[in-house]
Amino acid sequence: MPAPVKSVLPVVLLGCGGVGRYLLRHIVSCRPLHANQGVAIRVVGVADSSSLLVADDVHSSGLDDALLTQLCAAKAAGSPLSALLGQGHCQLFQNPEARSKVIDAATMLGRTTGLVLVDCSATYDTVSLLKDAVDHGCCIVLANKKPLTGAYEDFQKLVSNFRRIRFESTVGAGLPVIASATRIIASGDPVSCIVGSLSGTLGYVMSELEDGKKFSEVVKKAKSLGYTEPDPRDDLGGMDVARKALILARLLGQQISMDNINVESLYPSELGPDAVSTEDFLESGLVQLDKSMEERVKAASSRGNVLRYVCEIGSTGCQVGLKEVPKDSALGRLRGSDNVVEIYSRCYESSPLVIQGAGAGNDTTAAGVLADIIDLQDLFRKTA
Give me the active site residues, please.
244
Counting contacts by CB under 8 A, is residue 304 touching a copy of itself? no
* Contact predicate 174/371, CB 8 Å: yes
Nearer to a copy of itself among residue 111 and residue 291 (C-beta): 111
Round to whole Å and give the CA distance between 351 and 328. Answer: 12
Q: What strands lie across the sheet with 51-55, from one edge to the other?
A: 90-94, 51-55, 39-47, 7-14, 116-119, 139-142, 165-166
Indicate the residue among 271 and 310 with the shorter CB distance to a copy of itself.
Answer: 310
- Shortest reach from residue 349's CB to a copy of itself, in Å: 9
Decide whether 1 or 384 has the Cβ nearer to a copy of itself.
384
Interface pick for a copy of itself out of 188, 198, 291, 322 (rule CB under 8 A)? 188
The DSSP-derived string for 282-323 is IIIIGGGGHHHHHHHHHHHHHTTEEEEEEEEEETTEEEEEEE
Cβ neighbours, 10 Å, residue 280: 12
Q: Which of 50, 94, 123, 187 binds a copy of itself (CB under 8 A)?
A: 187
| 211 touching a copy of itself, by CB under 8 A | no
Is 226 annotated for ligand binding?
Answer: no
CB of 109 to a copy of itself, least distance (A): 11
46, β-bridge pairs: 13, 53
Known binding residue 229? Answer is yes
353 interacts with a copy of itself by CB under 8 A: yes
225 touches a copy of itself (CB under 8 A): no
Interface with a copy of itself (CB under 8 A), residue from 179, 240, 266, 304: 179
x/- track of binding to a copy of itself for residues 37-56 (CB under 8 A): x-------------------
Q: Does residue 382 touch a copy of itself according to CB under 8 A? A: no
Q: Is 255 in the site for a copy of itself (CB under 8 A)?
A: no
> What is the nearest approach in angstroms of a copy of itself to the Cβ of residue 121?
20
324 labeled part of a ligand binding site: no
Using rule CB under 8 A, residue 265 touches a copy of itself = no
Single out the residue of 79, 112, 156, 260 in contact with a copy of itself (rule: CB under 8 A): 112
Q: Which has the closest alpha carbon to 92: 108, 78, 81, 103?
A: 81
Strand 191-197 to strand 305-314: parallel, antiparallel, or no bridges (unpaired)?
Answer: antiparallel
For residue 327, state whether it binds a copy of itself (rule: CB under 8 A): no
User: Which of 379, 381, 384, 383 minimizes the C-alpha distance to 141?
Assistant: 379
184 binds a copy of itself (CB under 8 A): yes
Give all strands (DSSP E) within the chain, no chain letters.
7-14, 39-47, 51-55, 90-94, 116-119, 139-142, 165-166, 191-197, 262-263, 305-314, 317-326, 338-345, 353-358
User: Is 48 or 342 the residue whose CB approaches a copy of itself more closely?
Assistant: 342
Longest dimension (CA), the chain: 67
Contact flag: residue 203 with a copy of itself (CB under 8 A) = no
Query: At a CB cut-off of 8 Å and minimum separation 6, what does 213 contact?
Result: none
- Of 63-71, 79-87, 233-241, 370-378, which segment contacts a copy of itself by CB under 8 A? 370-378
Q: What is the C-alpha separation between 359 and 311, in angstroms, rounded?
A: 14
**CA 212 to the chain's CA centroid:** 33
Annotated binding-site ranges for NADPH? 145
Annotated binding-site ranges? 15-20, 145, 229
Annotated binding-site ranges for L-homoserine? 229
